[in-house]
Structures are given as structure tokens and as C-alpha cells.
Structure 1
């Protein structure tokens, strides 16, 4: 089946986790959890991990158990200076330019954060669509509805779609639907466990897999 679209995760996918953005977001999430729950900063990551396993995100855990103001959370957590961590990426821009198919961001972050990341990397022109946590109606990946809503919006079948993602837990629903998958694995922890169709150390390597014929049916 011809590939028609690629869904790109955002954070730690379009740029490496080692850039430090995720660490900055984690620090803000830990502080937010401490303030809301009264736990210590040391306990906050443990709580967040339990929510991640049960609900999919820290936000979902806070919603279910503390009924927080969602918009306040999104504003506080993503209020970071991206320019401290990221810069324009001409190589990524050139690789994206070679793709002749639909592209969309597929993220549990809010659209305004995604737009800032894309502008900072210098690749915003390649992503006319951003499917974010509000688009998912706050039912985040890995909930199956997030994937089906994105496919419906693009007007493509799962078998015509590739997901590029850095979180292993977000891959099974995509594969269940019939999507092809590439896991971004900067540390090389999953290269031989069959969790995805392909594993790449970064987004550039992932796009080279696509452009060099590693994903059948690509028009490049």
C-alpha cells in the first residue's frame, strides 16, 4: 500500500532528548505536582510515573485525581525558553523538503508549544497540521481514539500512514491499527526487541530510512 502520510511526534522526536527540553519540562511538571498534591519533589516523579502507566500522561493523572485547571497546567508547564535548548536545523528542513506526502505533528503537548518548537527548528512550513492534546479532547496517546481521530482528519487509512515516535508505549495502538512505525531511540535500548518496524537514533536517520526505501510505497 502506498504511504500517504507521516505522523510525527514532537518532543524528543524532532530533536534529541539530550537537547534538554524534556528535562526542563519534567522539572516544571514535578514542581506543579508538588504544589497540587503536597508531595515532595522527590515523590513527584514517582507519582507521575504511576499516572503515566495508568492514564498515559501527567496531565491525565492530575485531571482524574485532582481536577486541575487544564489550561493553567499547559501554560505553566510549557513556559520555557526553547531557544536555550534548540536551534534551526537546516538538515532536517532539507530532508522534510524531499517528502512528497502529508505530514502532521501528533503530540500530547498543546499546539502553541508545538508551533514554537517548529519555528525554533526552522521547519514550521512542513507541518500545516498539528494534532495536539486539545484535538484529542484530552484523551492522549496511547488511547486509541487519538490515533483514529488523526487518521480521520487526514482522510487516510492506517495502512497508508507512518508514525515516528520516541515513546515505546505509544507504538502498540498504531501497530494494532495497521500503521507502520519508526521508534526514535537515542540510547539504543530497543534496537532488537521488535517494538517497531524500524528503530533509528534520531529524526534524520528515521527520515533517511523513509527516503531510501526502507518504508515501501513512499513517493520521494
Structure 2
């Protein structure tokens, strides 16, 4: 029996389409801490502990703040993503060319906001390269690696998971993708678990991997 035809490549955004060395996400971390302390009123000494707890229980800080402090998720998203994206990122012509070589449908699937994703794509000069952006709102602010946002993305694309490739810098997020039946590509170094089908140094190498799979 032949392998299902690959119809879509689903890309994570932060630290996947650009190198973590750009330190963009560290700016968002600062904004999250400030929001928790200055807007929500959580004592500064409790912020780090709460963030670790919320990440462990809910996948993102936002879910914990919604559940325990009743924060407005839209206010939170606007506040924490108010960072100088253009100051950290530059156009990436190599990645733009690589994305153009991928014949499959291409989308972004991020735990951030759509507005943040648009600013990142603009700074990287990747406008027009992706059919759609799926953000944290896709499953009522439920993040990766929980299953529901993946299922919502697949429903929206009207595709079976076996027809999709997931590209991520987070092994944990790839675990869910693999459990659903997707092929998985890990961007970056570090541990490469058994559920990762390929590991690459940068997103610009995705076309090579996908073309090799298509040739099999």
C-alpha cells in the first residue's frame, strides 16, 4: 500500500521560521512577566513560579490567567506581543526561495497571535508565502501540544493528518502531530526523539526533506 500523498506543510512560527539566536521570544517573555505583575497584580516574586505551573498544566501562561484570574485573552495577546519585531528580524531571501520551492499548501500554526505572526512574516519578507495563519484562537485559546488545535487546523484544511507535514522547533509539539499521524520535522539541535521523522538546522531545508519523501 502506497504512502498518502503529502498535501500540506504546517509551519510553526517563533524559533522555527527564524533562528532562536534572534532572541525575539525573550522580548515576549518580558512582556508576559510585566502583564502578570503590572496588569493582573500578581506579586513579582510569584510570577516565575506561576508561569512554570501554568505551562505544565495548560501549555501556555494565558490559559492559567484566564482560568484563575479571568483575564481578557485579547487584551493579553495585544499586550505581550507589543514588541519590536522589526528590530530583531531581517528579510530572509533564502527561506523565501525555499518556501517557493514547496509545491504543497503551506500554512502557519502558532501559539501566538495572528497579529504577531503577520509582523514576523513581514519582517522576514515572507508575505504571500502562506495560505493561512492559525493562531492561539483556533481552539478557544487552547495551545499546542494539546490535540484540539491540531484537529481544528486539519478540519479547516479539510485534510487527513497523514497528508500533512508538521515543522516545529518544539519536540513536544511534534509528539502530538506524530500521534495524530502527521510526518514531523524538527528544526534546531538538541534531542531528536523517535517520533521525529527528520531533523534540520533551518526551515530553509524543508523542501529538500519533503522532496526526498515524495521520491520514495
Q: Name the TM-score, length of structure 1 as normaliser.
A: 0.90
Which 5+ residue runs of structure 1 have no aligned equivalent? Answer: none
Secondary structure of the 1:210 match is: helix
Residue in structure 1 matching 2:132, options 117, 129, 132: 129
Residue in structure 1 matching 2:7, options 1, 4, 15: 4
Which 5+ residue runs of structure 2 have no aligned equivalent? Answer: none
Secondary structure of the 1:104 match is: strand
Secondary structure of the 2:139 match is: coil
- Per the TM alignment, residue 209 of structure 1 is displaced from its structure 2 partner at its CA by 2.3
Contact 2:33 2:47 in 1 (8 A): yes
Separation in structure 2 between the aligned mates of residue 207 and residue 78 of structure 1, nearest angstrom: 30
**Stretches of 4+ aligned residues off by more than 4 angstroms:** none
Separation in structure 1 between the aligned mates of residue 37 and residue 171 of structure 2, nearest angstrom: 27
Per-residue CA shift, 1:132-176, capped at 9, x if unaligned?
112222121112111111111111110110000112221222111
Contact 1:7 1:104 in 2 (8 A): yes
Separation in structure 1 between the aligned mates of residue 206 and residue 54 of structure 2, nearest angstrom: 30
Counting matched residue pairs gives 212
Q: Which residue of 1 aligns with 2:43?
A: 39
Separation in structure 1 between the aligned mates of residue 120 and residue 14 of structure 2, nearest angstrom: 8
Q: Name the TM-score, length of structure 2 as normaliser.
A: 0.92
Separation in structure 2 between the aligned mates of residue 96 and residue 180 of structure 1, nearest angstrom: 18
Counterpart check, 1:49 vs 2:46: no
Residue in structure 2 matching 1:169, options 141, 155, 172: 172
Per-residue CA shift, 1:90-146, capped at 9, x if unaligned?
000000001111111001111111111111111121112011112222121112111
- Per the TM alignment, residue 195 of structure 1 is displaced from its structure 2 partner at its CA by 4.2
Q: Which residue of 1 aligns with 2:123?
A: 120
Contact 1:108 1:141 in 2 (8 A): yes
1:39-188 superposed matches below 5 A: 39-40=43-44, 43-185=46-188, 188=189
Secondary structure of the 1:124 match is: coil
Determine which structure has the larger helix proportion and give its number: 2
